């Protein structure tokens, strides 16, 4: 792979593990520090997701090796590639495929990745837009597509979004409202009610309003995008209407699911799992192309904040504490030097 002249070192946030424990460190790395891959990308932006918070805070079960660069998303420009798919200067996006978990991720000014893990940046968009969408928005779009493919339509009744103030939830609310659905947003943060109504929710309910009491509750939801899991998901399934679809994509509220078969065999409810990590490339491209159409930068400005790479350790603690609303774009590219 032919590589243009690059600075001898570049900045990255790296997770290290030693006798003192697991911690993040900002380091100056060389290309030899990066893992395998046929494409070198100059990273312009990454993003902050709940899983990134877990990784940077050293929580167990996320990172598979050390040292490793976290950051499950990245967007930037191809520097060089051995693949005929990409040329220098092409804008690309990477989400999933173990990035920032099994292999080095996006919190680095340079990344070496397989071309097969990339998708082209849609025409008319940029890296900031891509990371204001990020894994959260991509996951939300996959969930919306699952509802639509399962036959849920705007005329079929209410749809529910749980964990609605988070990154996946807030994007799902906006996408569903834009598509004409009547959206009920569930959140554990009642102070976010105005924010969620501004995204298009017609009703906002509390997390406590979703408590499973019986195997089958009164039919209410034509479709559900659940980002919470646990008893919230169980309650949503129990109240889903006949032939409704529940798209499950998170477990912030617990990984266990205590329910019965009755919603599935008596009402024909579909429980659709959303896996954004290993989603096939054709479906990835379809989702990103639709996101470019349905979620322009202007629609994201009010729900997105931009922060420098140096803020990631503090932001990691905040997102785990439920203190981050909407989307956070991480500016990875170094700031231009001030003129002397």
What does the pLDDT look like over 267-297, one tens digit per residue?
999 999 999 999 999 999 999 999 999 999 9
Cα dihedral 104, 308, 96, 150 in deg (nearest 10): 170
* pLDDT class of 340 with cuts at 50, 70, 90: very low
Q: Is residue 215 part of a domain?
A: yes
Are residues 206 and 102 part of one domain?
no
Q: Is residue 5 part of a domain?
A: no
Q: Is residue 294 part of a domain?
A: no
| Section 238-262 average pLDDT | 94
Are residues 326 and 234 part of one domain?
no
d(CA 42, CA 110): 5
Number of domains composing the chain: 2
Are residues 146 and 112 part of one domain?
no
Distances (CA, A) of 111 to 33, 74, 93, 187, 332: 10, 9, 12, 36, 11
Amino acid 335: pLDDT: 63
Res. 1: pLDDT tops 80:
no
Q: Is residue 266 part of a domain?
A: yes
Are residues 139 and 117 part of one domain?
no
Amino acid 3: pLDDT: 55
Query: Which residue's entry shows tokens 């340079």?
Result: 110
What does the pLDDT look like over 83-133, one tens digit per residue?
999 999 999 999 999 999 999 999 999 999 999 999 999 999 999 999 999
- DSSP E strand stretches across the chain: 10-18, 21-29, 39-47, 73-81, 91-95, 110-113, 119-120, 159-161, 183-187, 203-206, 221-226, 240-248, 270-273, 304-308, 327-331
Joined together, the tokens standing for residue 86 give 């990409």
Are residues 93 and 165 part of one domain?
no
The domain of 201 spans 135-273
d(CA 300, CA 327): 9
Are residues 263 and 142 part of one domain?
yes
Q: Is residue 214 part of a domain?
A: yes
Are residues 203 and 110 part of one domain?
no
Q: Ramachandran region of residue 202, left (φ > 0), alpha (ψ -120 to 50) or beta? A: alpha
Are residues 262 and 156 part of one domain?
yes
Residue 222, domain CATH:
3.40.50.720
Are residues 58 and 140 part of one domain?
no
Are residues 117 and 22 part of one domain?
yes
Are residues 268 and 141 part of one domain?
yes
Q: Is residue 254 part of a domain?
A: yes
pTM: 0.89
The mean pLDDT of the chain is 93
Are residues 212 and 146 part of one domain?
yes
């Amino acid at each position: 792979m032919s590589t243009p002249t690059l600075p001898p070192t570049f900045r990255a946030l790296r997770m290290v593990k030693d006798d003192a424990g697991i911690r993040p460190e900002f380091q100056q790395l060389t290309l030899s520090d990066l893992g395998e891959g046929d494409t070198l990308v100059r990273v312009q932006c990454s993003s902050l997701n709940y899983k990134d918070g877990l990784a940077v805070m050293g929580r167990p079960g996320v990172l598979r090796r050390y040292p490793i660069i976290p950051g499950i998303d990245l967007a930037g420009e191809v520097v060089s590639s051995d693949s005929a798919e990409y040329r220098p200067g092409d804008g690309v996006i990477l989400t999933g495929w173990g990035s920032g978990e099994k292999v080095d991720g996006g919190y680095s000014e340079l990344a070496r990745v397989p071309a097969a893990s990339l998708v082209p940046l849609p025409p008319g968009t940029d890296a900031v837009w891509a990371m204001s969408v990020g894994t959260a928005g991509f996951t939300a779009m996959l969930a919306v597509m699952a509802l639509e493919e399962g036959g849920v339509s705007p005329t079929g009744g209410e749809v529910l979004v749980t964990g609605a103030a988070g990154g996946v939830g807030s994007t799902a609310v906006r996408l569903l409202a834009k598509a004409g659905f009547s959206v009920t947003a569930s959140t554990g943060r009642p102070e976010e009610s105005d924010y969620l109504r501004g995204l298009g929710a017609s009703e906002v309910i509390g997390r406590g309003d979703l408590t499973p009491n019986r195997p089958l509750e009164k039919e209410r939801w034509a479709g559900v995008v659940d980002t919470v899991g646990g008893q919230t998901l169980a309650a949503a399934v129990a109240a889903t209407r006949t032939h409704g679809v529940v798209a499950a994509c998170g477990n912030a509220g617990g990984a266990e699911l205590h329910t019965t078969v009755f919603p599935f065999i008596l009402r024909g409810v579909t429980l659709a799992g959303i896996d954004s990590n290993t989603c096939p490339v054709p479906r990835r491209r379809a989702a990103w192309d639709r996101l470019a159409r349905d979620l322009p930068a202007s629609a994201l400005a009010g729900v997105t904040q931009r922060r420098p790479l140096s803020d990631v350790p503090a932001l990691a603690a905040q997102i785990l504490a439920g203190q981050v609303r909407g989307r956070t774009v991480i500016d990875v590219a170094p700031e231009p030097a001030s003129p002397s």
